[in-house]
A and B are shown apart, each in its own frame.
Chain A
Amino acid sequence: MPDPSDATLVVDQLVVDFATGEGPVHAVRGVSFSLAPQEVLGIVGESGSGKSVTALAAMGLLPKNARASGSITYAGRELLGLKEKELAKVRGTGIAMIFQDPMTSLNPVYKVGWQIAEAIQAHQDVGKEEALAKAVALLETVGIPNAAERVGNYPHEFSGGMRQRVVIAIAMANDPAVILADEPTTALDVTVQAQVLSSLKKALEQTRASLLLITHDLGVIAGLADRVLVMYAGRPVEIGTVEEIFYEPAMPYTHGLLGSLPRLDSDGRERLRQIPGSPRSMVGDHSGCPFAPRCPLRADICDEEEPELRPVVSAAADPAAGDGRLPAGPPHMAACHFADRVTGLPVASMFTDSAADQEGVAL
């Protein structure tokens, strides 16, 4: 990967708090990453890990009770604190976003052709006819059959997968440099997901945009991402190439996630590994590693000191690793006091497969 000055989107020490009746909720507690041109960075984590809030902050779409600090720069320009009018110029042309539910991003009372044309005309000096012609071409790119007729349809006349492809068409309408996709296929059936992912790949080829892909589906990440950021309790706990994360994870939480997945490609009746306990509350202040209460490797230091992201010293460089796309990238980093020990272990070997409830009562 090129040096950070080439990066399109740089997030540095982003912190987002929400003011709530029960006190501040620390949704994001210091996220840093940079997105290189044409790179696909996957962000994974479970519900409440802060992955969606990170994307919303980058788009300037945080709700009013949120307070963000740190820095998010796009093409060298600071986005945090930018005026709405200035942000509107960046949205669409610089950064475009795809949300989980296409029905909330499309307006039900306008024809889809009009909605795509509106996005085009917001940033480009073209007439209505020309914008509509572009809309048809975009719908063809994302694989909508009979695009010339379908531009006259309303969103309710499309199926869920087709609506999401319309949203992708809108996202690519102004040739953005970065596309943020927040759980773009989560609500969809697998065969529809395959259609939408193939549309997304076409959109990336055509716009040459980088993609920040937020999902809890590790299979989607495995197929699409160049690098992966794993989030837990509002912080990145591990970042590395897709190969490093899947084959040499250095953070126990990453191990646990990979081990808890039932596998389509394995006939064995081997039992699933379980992460005991449940994620800690985001309200209030805590000390120590947020994963410590669920971690089989917990030691005294884990309760005292929250580990920083540090480069992992890999036990042995894997000769088969790497598909050559990102030869010398940023280092594999993990936030664990024992990362160097963890990275050599077989995936999820430190977790048990007991069926007993180990969650503890949520109060």
Chain B
Amino acid sequence: MTGTEPLSPAPAAGESPTGAGRSDAGTEPLLSVTDLVKHYPKRGGTFVRHQVGVVHAVCGITFGINRGETLGLVGESGCGKTTAGRSVLQLIQPTSGSVRFDGRELVGLSGRAMREVRKDLQVVFQDPFASLDPRMPVGESIAEPLHIHGLWQHGSGRRRVADALSLVGLEPHYANRFPNEFSGGQRQRVGIARALILEPKLLVLDEPVSALDVSIQAGVVNLLDDLQQRLGIAYLFIAHDLSVVRHISDRVAVMYLGRIVEIGSRTDVYDHGEHPYTQALLSAVPVPDPRRERSRTHIVLEGDVPSPENPPSGCRFRTRCWKAQDICAQEVPELVDRGGGHPVACHFPESISTL
């Protein structure tokens, strides 16, 4: 591939090429999210619309991402992982909490200042059919961020687009084609090229491979691995597919009903998961290995996820937890590190193997 200019490889993993001269570059995480809360008003009423309730989508989550690192954010539908991702991007205004990115507080930033930050903070969405304008050649879609940020130059613009295309493994002359001429996997590559053209420091990937068939998905996952190694970008990888998340992440955060219940290294969470929900989630994923799959014990949870409008008191998982005691209804278990750098929000954490 030839895409080394101007998307130059990072000098070292964890050090951004443009981070030179920033004094805090080595110490502060690239992104720190603290006590992030997002409540949506629920409206109703027969004749006059008025607020009838509050949907507690995200309720005080805290996490950080270091430079060049991948944090996987997993959970099931409605757990708040997408809301968390969009709050980081300031595509929705959080109700409270702080999002610090590259030394700057993003919550409350003006539109103009936020636009400046977006050069370093880009996003790839799930549906490659919806995120590209069908009437725009993909080359123009990829160049659009350059125009928006006033970085388009007649001499180098086209070359940058061609470089971005070859960086994601597409032929540079595809720039003149329209999205309908591409397959799903190729469109997702175009979406990634568009996100990379500004050389961001953090890429938020919201279910980037969920819409793809497995054989195509493998190519995009491998591409994301390669790009991180070459460019030193950090990823916030939001997905419900636990196998993909294990493959791609350095650290993993598990969400349930608006809260992070467990966060730790890939091995901590997958091999030594201590939260009962993490264990139930992992044990529910079928493994494509008949002998192993048939010898595993599967934890089948009772009932459904409670409504985020009226979440249970104390621990939110207690209504489905086989370990629940009185304390679980009275006290919210804090996400605390019991030594070992692997915080778990449970009153009765215990490591068991689920594979």
Contacts and interface: CB of A to CB of B under 8 A. Distances in A.
A223 B298 CA distance: 11
Given A189-B240, A190-B242, A223-B293, A264 B215 contact: no
Contacts, number: 164
Given A190-B242, A223-B294, A267-B266, A218 B222 contact: no
Nearest to B174: A361
B267 A219 contact: no
Interface in B254-285: 266-267, 270-271, 280-285
Residue of B185, B214, B270, B291 with highest tally of chain A CB at under 10 A: B214
A161 B213 CA distance: 23
B301 A353 contact: no
Interface in A327-363: 353-359, 361-363
B334 interface: no
A271 to B, nearest CB: 6
A132 B192 CA distance: 54
Contact of A243 (B76, B182, B285, B290): B290
Nearest to B222: A355
Contact of A222 (B174, B225, B290, B301): B290
A191 B284 contact: yes
B332 interface: no
Contacts of B111: none
Interface in B178-229: 181-183, 185-186, 189, 213-219, 221-223, 225-226
Contact of B240 (A190, A242, A258, A263): A190
A191 B177 CA distance: 41
Contacts of A257: 214-215
A359 B216 contact: yes
A46 interface: yes
Contacts of B170: 357
A209 B271 CA distance: 37
Interface residues of B, number: 61
B355 interface: yes
Nearest to A220: B286
Nearest to B267: A267
Contact of B281 (A191, A267, A356): A191
Contact of B76 (A162, A190, A221): A190
B215 A262 contact: no
Interface in A189-236: 189-195, 198, 216-223
A191 B215 contact: no
Interface string A270-288: 0111110010000000000
Residue of B183, B281, B283 with highest tally of chain A CB at under 10 A: B183
Given A353-B222, A355-B219, A264 B355 contact: yes
Contacts of A363: 181
Contact of B182 (A219, A264, A361): A361
Contact of A361 (B186, B283, B285): B186
B225 A193 contact: no
A75 interface: no
Nearest to A361: B181
B304 A159 contact: yes
B289 interface: yes
B168 interface: yes
A323 B294 contact: yes
A359 B185 contact: yes
Given A263-B243, A264-B285, A357-B168, A223 B215 contact: no
13 contacts: A46-B214, A190-B281, A191-B280, A194-B300, A219-B285, A222-B287, A257-B214, A264-B285, A274-B218, A275-B218, A359-B185, A359-B216, A362-B186
Interface of A: 46-47, 145, 159, 161-162, 189-195, 198, 216-223, 242-243, 246-247, 256-267, 269, 271-275, 278, 323, 353-359, 361-363
Q: List 4 tightest A-B contacts by C-beta distance, closest first.
A: A219-B286, A262-B247, A260-B218, A189-B76
Interface of B: 1, 76-77, 168-170, 174, 177, 181-183, 185-186, 189, 213-219, 221-223, 225-226, 240-244, 246-248, 266-267, 270-271, 280-294, 298-304, 355
Given A194-B283, A278-B216, 6 more contacts: A190-B242, A190-B284, A264-B285, A264-B355, A267-B266, A278-B185
